Amino acid sequence: MIDWGAFVVVALASLVATAVVVSLYSFGLRFHGLTRPDPATGEPVRPVYATVLAFTCFGLSVCAVLYGIYLIVPFLHG
């Protein structure tokens, strides 16, 4: 028999985890693309806070993916 309660819990956890990873990566791309023209040269520059936030979002999404791989691969559990 299928335990439908467990099935629903796993399905919802998968959807939430996917949404979190995709959102983190999307925010990282958005912050990485945030530029404004430099008043002196006219060259596009990225604010420091945008760079820090971009790499923070990328790092968190990589950590989430690696944790998911850790949960899936039984060899890594010892």
Triad 28, 20, 16: Cα angle to 5°: 165
pLDDT at 33 (0 to 100):
94
Mean residue pLDDT of the chain comes to 94
Among the ranges given (15-19, 21-25, 27-31, 42-46), the one the predictor scored with the smallest mean pLDDT: 42-46
Domain ranges for the chain: 18-77
Mean pLDDT of all residues in 18-46: 94
Nearest to 57 by CA among 35, 78, 26: 26
E strand or H helix at 44, and its extent?
strand 44-45
Residue pLDDT, tens place only, 60-76: 999 999 999 999 999 98
Quick one: average pLDDT of 27-43? 93
